[in-house]
Structure 1
Amino acid sequence: MSIPKEPRQIMINLMYLVLTALLALNVSNEILNAFRTLSTSMNRSNESIDARTKDLYAAIIASEKETGQADKVRPYRIQADEVVKQSNDMVKYLDDWKKKIIVEAGGYSAEEPGMPDKMDNIDATTTLLVERKGGTELQKRITELRQFLLNQIPKDSASLSPFMPLVVEPAHKNHDHNPTGDWNIGNFEHMPAIAALAMFSKFQNDVRSSEAIVIKKLAELSHARDLKYDTTAAVAVPKTTYALVGDKIEATILLAAFNKSNMPTLAISQGGGNKKPAKNGVIEWETVAAGTGVQTVKGTITLETAEQGKITKPWSFDYMVGTTGASLQLDKMNVFYIGVDNPVTVSAAGYSIEDVYLKLPPGGTATGGNGKYMINCTTPNPNFMVDIMAKSKDRTAADIKVSSMPIRVKYIPDPVAYLLGKREGMMSAGQFKVAIAPQAVLEKFEFEAKFQITEFTVAMLIKGGDYVPGMTCKTATGARFSDNPELIKRQAMARPGDRIFIEGIKGIGPDKKPRSLNSIILTLN
């Protein structure tokens, strides 16, 4: 194409290119940043749980070295050694998966160590965990570690099993997308890379929480810390350490070394509820997840004793609330154009892809499914709000609005008029004689869109002769030179030195908006 000579037109073209690039960089940044914050917060939570478990593990080791304790404590210390080893191996295995996902998604970010360069990549998890069956191995490892941990406390496994968060939940079956209830598809297909990192941090959190339950029980069995009333401590054990907004949060809160004939009383000062009575020494507590990020539940537990009177101890625990992390990715650019199919890809971590759909305001329609949609719009709108919806998990509640994203709706840019590839300059007389009509060409436009030239006039300045005024051609279905007999006659008589002026060019495209296009000025040679 020829470069425009007018400085104003050059500036407009450059501004359009820069704006397009900036818009492309703005896809779903808020959602991706939420996942990044969630992954980082989860890692900090894992470190906190691990530190408390190490204290208990160190106490078991120290107790074995005490006078007269070796034979009693050694079997539990050996079990604790293996529990810590297996848990550490699993955490490393999950870390290795994070690295694989980052590499498959395009590598590490140069600006943010430990994070993927392309956080919105949705192909890495599908390739590694679904197509290559990596999720099958992951599911097997989780199941095996859970069973191993329960085997270390066989007499208490039935009572502690419901509180152990490390578990493989079955995937939801869907007739169209996941008829067999494949766990890999249900959990990892079309998941953005940064969301996958948050999910694997959640698995690591489950490992550390389950490890803590078993180590604590081994410590009790070994009497590593014989609890006495002057050193009592409140214990809060959440059944869930990671949840989405609206999910149920449950925890077991108890005072260690209690007397079943003397029931403690629980007071909750932050995180929901007020007072709870004990049943067989144990207080069951639950609430509904709200907010996002790390949530703290705390309070006090009180026991009346004959020996020391009233004993009151503080307790607290944290749980992580994540958003569903919906992502809307415009496959071509961050704008919807009227009159053409606008492809988008949508996903929402925590929901099966077939349960996620788009809800559009008036003036827009969406067709497709399973994460891939075509958007069609009819009216310009600078703030066209696209809602990402998901069906409720139990199918009894109303559908959930997971996220929203504003998109601009615009008309297709104006095309450029050419005659046999030229809009100015020289053209041979022979070429002009065989020309049929001007053409409208969309330049640097990502979509397939055709324009019809509906009207134009042709004037000629004959070399050494007279000026021939404009000869009009006008047809709604596509104007041609042949629409004007006088023009056909003049075209056949064209010779070198004549000047051709094609002006008043009008066209219309798939968005149905009439356009006035540039003039074409040629000199025949």
Structure 2
Amino acid sequence: MAGGKMSARQKMINLMYLVFIAMLAMQMSREVLSAFGFMNEKLETNNISTIEKNKQAYANLATKASEQTEKFGKLNTQAKKIKQYSADFYSYLGELKTQMTTDLEDKKAYESMDKTTFLDTYFFKGDNYTPKGQEFLDNINAYRTNVNATLGEGSKFEALINSRFDTNDVIDSDGKTVPWLKYRYEGFPLIASLTNLTQMQADIKNSESEILNSLLGGKLEESLSLNNYKGIVALDKNAYFAGEKVTGKIVLGRYDAEMVPDNVILNGKDYKKIESGQVIIDMPAGNIGNHDIKGKIAFTQNGKVVEVPFESSYSVIPEPSNAVVSADKMNVVYRGLNNPISVSLPGVSDNNLSVSASGGNLTGSNGKYSIKPGSGKIATINVSAKLSSGKTVNSKATFRIKDIPAAMGSVREQYGTVRMPKSGLANSPISAGLPDFEFDLNITVKSFKIKVPGELTIIVNGTTLSAAAKKVLNKAQRGDIINIYDIKATANGYNLKQVLPVNIELTN
């Protein structure tokens, strides 16, 4: 096209060709800008979903901390700090995004957001940063430092946090070292920078979610070092008559039959009766009163001697006066369930006990019973026995009656927010469970509601999606959050009062 004399027709063809190439370039630019906009919308939607999920996790951890302060109190304090750092940084980014789009009449006119002026003047002044640019960097660095400091040195999340909020200099494609802020934000279209900030907000919320999941997993990972073992004294009985021998075992937490100690000190003296990693207690009970059992077990680990202390106590009593009643699961009994109850009286065989109950239906014998509470709030176990001396002992124990806790909806035995393909959800039954509940329950889902974004809620009877539910599900897109809620279920024939929802994030 460039050589020789061209005809008017050839010149026109060449001109049209150049115009066509320019139009393609313009079209590509518009498509890229729109793609950034749609990506920003999707990220913002996902952020909303993650925020709601994190709220539930924070609430769950707070509840556990109130019930078991010693176990979860410190973790809840950590979570509160991370929540505050995350909220402050997330809000700061949100305010910056608002400033970036203040002058735009149409916040979704992505094809017009091709200017670079705002952040180029907001963050940079020549080769240096403006105070606002430095403030932006300081906020990122502060968030990374504060979260890592809260989790503690050596946290398994340290590398993840450092990677997601890294502001170190970058080597560009030409091999030159470029400051991170310039590399990521200088000269970029407005919509690209806006999406970049939304992604950073997503990193904040995802980091919170992953940390919370670890904290709610039942404390942070515990070391298997011998320094964390605890000596446990397990007596055959808690009280003894004068003249009896104290019998039982001393074992280690995380007991291993092949773990034989180098030596044992029991009540200040060397003790040699050791079998299969257990220290077998066999000694006189002593006089009436309280007696201590304490000492240490020594092991060799990595060439060093590690001593594990143990301590317990027992009482020598002249004669029993009260029955010993304990709930096998906890200090409450649950309505609608057969709650196992153990009943014993020191010095009296189980078959010589007379056991009855009020506030529920009692079944069983020989020290092992079950009580199924009624509609009241209190259940009482009454025990009586005639001792060999002829004396009759009467005792009772009172238990609070509680409803079965709220169950959790699940798909494929997963709770909370579950990522899976649309076809998987269409063919998977909706279930429910109580993962932290001590009882084995036969939970049956009777009905549930399914909500697809932008569609009407569908009520489904049974456990699998109906034709109507599958029809609205087919309209969902990748990344949509499908909400399964208002789940009605029974546990061992008892109607559960509440079943928490389960969310499904579609992967295709």
TM-score by length of structure 1 reads 0.39
Higher relative contact order (CA 8 A, sep 6+): 1
TM-score by length of structure 2 reads 0.40
